[in-house]
A and B are shown apart, each in its own frame.
Chain A
Amino acid sequence: DTGVSQNPRHKITKRGQNVTFRCDPISEHNRLYWYRQTLGQGPEFLTYFQNEAQLEKSRLLSDRFSAERPKGSFSTLEIQRTEQGDSAMYLCASSSSGGTQYFGPGTRLLVL
């Protein structure tokens, strides 16, 4: 069991640039979740997939955010035209059919 992996672990970008993060779930897990966490707060739900279908999106997921899971395996989260308020830890988790969610190490984004 290799666990959930996320890349990159850290990303520094300038305001207005686009960034893309990747999440590789635990191999047999059909559900994949994205969360965002700012300093001192608990993780906040962004969106989740069952296989390749995106089943729920939070109001936090503005038009500048898009997530995909094209083959039901890995997922990408893209942020277009980044803003300083996008600076946060982006967490990915996976589970089997609503069971326990296991989290990855996160990608820390800093927008300058």
Chain B
Amino acid sequence: DAKTTQPTSMDCAEGRAANLPCNHSTISGNEYVYWYRQIHSQGPQYIIHGLKNNETNEMASLIITEDRKSSTLILPHATLRDTAVYYCIVRAGYNTNAGKSTFGDGTTLTVKP
């Protein structure tokens, strides 16, 4: 699985958009970008994933660059409850031999009032 690079920490004002970057320059053609978040002492929570097109769901938007070497997770209106560690990972997708997810140390997002 490709390695990802994320900033260690970021701050965001409540109500503003939080933009979390991720670099994955060695991503392979069949690998998806997945985002999870982990609130203190809980299991990681799935947020969103994508292959090459931008994706949006009720939680967030995912913007993947055309060369797929980086992506940005956007939380459009951050709330205090969005304070968490956010992990970006890349792995092969459905109906493949994709097994483990390789997590880095993630980005600690702190949403401030």
Which residues on A are within 8 Å of B, measured CB to CB?
Answer: 4, 31, 33, 35, 40-45, 48, 55-56, 58, 89, 91, 93, 96-106, 108
Contacts of B43 in A (CB 8 A): 4, 91, 93, 103-106
How many B residues have CB within 8 A of the partner chain? Answer: 26
Whether A96 pairs with B94 at a CB distance below 8 angstroms is yes
Nearest CB in chain B to that of A108: its residue: B41
A102 CA to B49 CA, complexed, in Å: 13
Contacts of A42 in B (CB 8 A): 85, 87, 103-106
**A86–chain B nearest beta-carbon distance, Å:** 18
Whether B95 pairs with A98 at a CB distance below 8 angstroms is yes
Whether B99 pairs with A56 at a CB distance below 8 angstroms is yes
B21 within 8 A of A: no
Whether A101 pairs with B42 at a CB distance below 8 angstroms is no
A104 CA to B50 CA, complexed, in Å: 22
Whether B94 pairs with A103 at a CB distance below 8 angstroms is no
Whether A101 pairs with B96 at a CB distance below 8 angstroms is no
Nearest CB in chain A to that of B34: its residue: A100
Further 5 A-B residue pairs, CB within 8 A, beyond A40-B105, A105-B42: A45-B100, A45-B101, A48-B99, A89-B41, A98-B99
**B46–chain A nearest beta-carbon distance, Å:** 6
Q: When the two chains form the complex, which single residue of A33, A102, A106 contacts B42, counting CB atoms closer than 8 Å?
A: A106
B65 within 8 A of A: no
Nearest CB in chain A to that of B43: its residue: A103
Contacts of B101 in A (CB 8 A): 33, 43, 45, 93, 101
B59 within 8 A of A: no
Query: Given A42-B105, A91-B43, A91-B44, are A99 and B93 also a contact pair (CB < 8 Å)?
Result: yes
Whether A45 pairs with B102 at a CB distance below 8 angstroms is yes
Whether A101 pairs with B46 at a CB distance below 8 angstroms is yes
0 or 1 for each of B43-75: is its CB under 8 Å from A? (1 = yes):
111100100000000000000000000000000
